[in-house]
């Protein structure tokens, strides 16, 4: 997972309010129920000493904008507010959290948030017909979903039943117009595929339009296309099957990422480009070696690290900080590791507890090794 979207969190001054909330909004009593849930969470923040500006910022964000978007009405939501009341993170969760949480603390508690995030898998959903398409781009770090409507020429797009010499002319004109309209959609997908790290393109809608568009697929994205028969573009068409299939594909890619990360860590002895254990990972983060930080989803709340003047000045013990010539602040280990990953442009994968060798809480897949790297010795 690209965690660059966490940059505003670590750039802000703490303490922080970190909230994971159930914002389900699907029945006639939804507004009242949501208000009660949000009130309970914000009261917890107040009891922990959060300023009124922070409490109000969290309350306002949780009670607004819970409907709409590619996945329909939100079920869960994570919000982080900094000490001055600025909301520095607002993300949809994959589902309503099993346990709602509200914490006011010197450092943001983000591992539970990452564990529950709706999949940050860059993708495009295309709902097409013979006139054009609705194209939704989603799953990009730090960017909201982008929806674009592409409309071609519909004047000649309908085949009509005529007889005589004009019959073939009308038929060919309609086919040609479908081809031109599909070309506009293909051009948009070409542009997106060149600029974005897309993982899949879900193609739904009219069967003939899908066939034409698939035939026009560029090599840059042809292998990314997943086609489905359900769903349509017409007014009133049910988009739920498309939303459901999108969620399935996101889950499949997330599971694949986790499996790939665990496999690379477990095979570290064969290639030397992975290591496990807090001390080894901290050293690799300091040197900018980490390509992907692998964290378990059950991190010990009492585990801490020492952090100096910047997120990459970190150590396990005071001797580490003495070697760096800086004074270390005691910081929760999870927060310190995530801040270091963001600062070094490393990806992050959260895996199930006990997935790592030796029941270690953290591992790293490396960009490179040197003579001091434990796995290279």
Reduced to 3 states (helix: H, G, I; strand: E, B; else coil), residue 205 is strand
Class of domain 123-256: alpha beta
Mean pLDDT in residue range 141-157: 76
For 148, other C-beta atoms within 10 Å of its C-beta total 12
Asked, as a colleague might, if the bond just before 15 is cis with ω within 30 of 0, I would say yes
Q: What's the half-sphere exposure (Cβ side, CA atoms, 13 Å) at 229? A: 0
pLDDT at 264: 85
Q: pTM of the predicted model, to two decimals?
A: 0.78
Distance between CA atoms of 274 and 271, rounded to whole angstroms?
Answer: 8
At 70, the pLDDT band (50, 70, 90 cuts) reads: very low
Of 168 and 153, the structure prediction assigns the larger pLDDT to 153
Reduced to 3 states (helix: H, G, I; strand: E, B; else coil), residue 286 is helix
Indicate the range of 41-50, 220-229, 267-276 predicted with least confidence. Answer: 267-276
Distance between CA atoms of 320 and 327, rounded to whole angstroms?
Answer: 10
Handedness of CA 154, 157, 162, 163 (dihedral sign): positive
At 377, the pLDDT band (50, 70, 90 cuts) reads: very low
Class of domain 267-376: alpha beta
What are the phi and psi torsion angles at 167 (to 5°)?
Answer: -55, -55
Q: Give the tens place of pLDDT for each residue, 185-195.
A: 999 999 999 99
Q: Give the tens place of pLDDT for each residue, 304-336.
A: 999 999 999 999 999 999 999 998 899 999 999
Residue 268 tokens, joined: 């570290």
Distance between CA atoms of 24 and 3, rounded to whole angstroms?
Answer: 26
Mean pLDDT in residue range 23-41: 83
Residues of the chain with pLDDT > 90, as a percent, come to 52
pLDDT at 268: 66
The answer to whether residue 374 scores a pLDDT higher than 50 is yes
What's the whole-number average pLDDT of the chain?
A: 86
């Amino acid at each position: 997972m690209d965690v660059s979207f966490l940059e505003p969190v670590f750039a802000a001054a703490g303490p922080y309010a970190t909230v994971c909330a159930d914002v389900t909004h699907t029945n006639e009593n939804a507004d009242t129920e949501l208000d009660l849930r949000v009130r309970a969470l914000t009261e917890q923040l107040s009891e922990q000493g959060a300023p009124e500006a922070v409490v109000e910022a969290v309350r306002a964000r949780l009670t607004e904008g819970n409907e709409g978007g590619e996945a329909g009405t939100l079920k869960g939501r994570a919000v982080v507010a900094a000490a001055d009341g600025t909301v520095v993170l607002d993300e949809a969760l994959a589902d309503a959290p099993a346990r709602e949480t509200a914490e006011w603390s010197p450092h943001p508690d983000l591992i539970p948030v990452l564990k529950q995030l709706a999949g940050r898998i860059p993708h495009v959903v295309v709902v097409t017909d013979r006139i054009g398409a609705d194209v939704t781009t989603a799953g990009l770090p730090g960017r909201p979903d982008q929806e674009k409507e592409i409309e071609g020429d519909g004047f000649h797009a309908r085949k009509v039943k005529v007889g005589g010499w004009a019959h073939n002319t009308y038929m060919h004109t309609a086919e040609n117009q479908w081809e031109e309209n599909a070309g506009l959609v293909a051009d948009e997908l070409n542009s997106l595929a060149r600029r974005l790290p897309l993982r899949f393109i879900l193609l739904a809608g009219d069967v003939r339009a899908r066939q034409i568009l698939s035939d026009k697929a560029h090599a840059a994205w042809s292998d990314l296309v997943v086609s489905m028969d359900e769903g349509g573009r017409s007014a009133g068409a049910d988009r739920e099957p498309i939303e459901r299939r999108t969620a399935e594909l996101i889950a499949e890619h997330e599971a694949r990422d986790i499996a790939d990360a665990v496999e690379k860590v477990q095979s570290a002895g064969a290639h030397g480009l992975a290591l496990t254990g807090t001390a080894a990972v901290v050293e690799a983060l300091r040197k900018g070696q980490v390509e992907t930080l692998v964290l378990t989803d059950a991190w010990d709340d009492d585990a801490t690290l020492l952090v100096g003047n910047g997120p990459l000045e970190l150590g396990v013990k005071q001797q580490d900080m003495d070697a760096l010539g800086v004074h270390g602040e005691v910081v929760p280990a999870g927060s310190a590791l995530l801040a270091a990953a963001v600062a070094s442009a490393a990806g992050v994968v959260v895996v199930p507890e006990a997935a790592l060798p030796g029941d270690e809480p953290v591992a790293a897949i490396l960009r490179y090794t040197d003579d001091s790297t434990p796995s290279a010795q």
